[in-house]
Amino acid sequence: MKFRSITAASILFVSGITVCFAAQKTTPSQYHGKDKQEAARALLETAKIQADGGSWELIAIGRIYYLSGSKPEGKAIFDDVLAHKPEAGDLFRIARVYREAGDWEQAKALFERALREEPDDSKGMAEVGSYYLMRGDRAAAEALFDRSFKLESDVWSTVAAAGSYLGVAPQE
């Protein structure tokens, strides 16, 4: 009797792995012949499984939802990432999505939080300064540029600052 229960448990375990593996695989049936919304949803659901909890991956998935008009789904993913002790880089990635969507106040709060958590991020300061300048707040932008260049004067920070004076957002 003990042998049967171990065998049954082993079969269920292996079957679970097979089902889990199959669920992670992207297949043509998820998008062939489907309307765009249905195809995207099927692919995003697969991507969530493939992400395996990775914050960068989940933020990328949330970005698609948020920018495609499904803001509640995207925000739910961002909120989940933010609830699990995100790194400053995660804060930047989410803030960039909010900025790209035109939700400046949400972006600004996360950018500022990221800079508080990483006070020596010269490139981040220049990037955020660029966004301030592009939104018309030259004084705040130049204060961030000053701090950035004092920490490290490198090509990426300089290019971000230069571009913003011409209305070109930093390359993300």
Is residue 66 assigned to a domain? yes
Domain assignment present for residue 10? The answer is no
Please give the share of the chain, as a percent, with pLDDT higher than 90: 80
Task: Evaluate whether residue 14 is within a structural domain.
Answer: no
Query: Is the domain of 44 the same as that of 85?
Result: yes
Q: Is the pTM of this model over 0.85?
A: no
CA dihedral sign of residues 7, 12, 15, 21: negative
> Based on the domain organization, do 168 and 134 belong to the same domain?
yes
- Confidence grade of residue 171 (pLDDT, cut at 50, 70, 90): confident
| pLDDT tens digits, one per residue of 96-121 | 999 999 999 999 999 999 999 999 99
Distances from the Cα of 140 to the Cα of 1, 20, 104, angstroms: 74, 49, 15
In this predicted structure, what is the pLDDT of residue 20? 46
SS3 string of 73-131? Answer: HHHHHHHHHHCCCCCHHHHHHHHHHHHHCCCHHHHHHHHHHHHHHCCCCHHHHHHHHHH
| Residues 125 and 98 reside in one and the same domain | no
Write the DSSP symbol of residue 166.
T
User: In the predicted model, what is the mean pLDDT of the chain?
Assistant: 88
Total structural domains in the chain?
Answer: 2
pLDDT in tens, 149-162: 999 999 999 999 99
Q: Let me know whether 139 and 97 are in one domain.
A: no
Kindly state whether residue 61 falls inside one of the protein's structural domains.
yes
Structural domain contains residue 85: yes
Q: Which of 101, 25, 35, 23 is nearest to 62 (CA)?
A: 101
Mean per-residue pLDDT, 27-43: 91
77: left (phi over 0), alpha (psi -120 to 50) or beta: alpha
Q: Token pair of 58, please?
A: 């989940």
Please write the tens of the pLDDT for every residue from 66-78.
999 999 999 999 9
> Two tokens at 147?
């701090």
| Residue 79, domain member (yes or no) | yes
Same domain, 44 and 92: yes
CA-closest candidate to residue 172, choices 118, 72, 96, 120? 96
Whether residue 157 is contained in a domain is answered as yes
Answer whether residue 147 is part of any domain: yes
Domain that holds residue 92: 39-103
CA distance 124 to 111: 8
The answer to whether residues 91 and 140 belong to one domain is no
Q: What does the pLDDT read at residue 144?
A: 97
> What is the per-residue pLDDT for 21?
46
Structure confidence at residue 84 as a pLDDT band (50, 70, 90): very high
> Same structural domain for residues 47 and 76?
yes
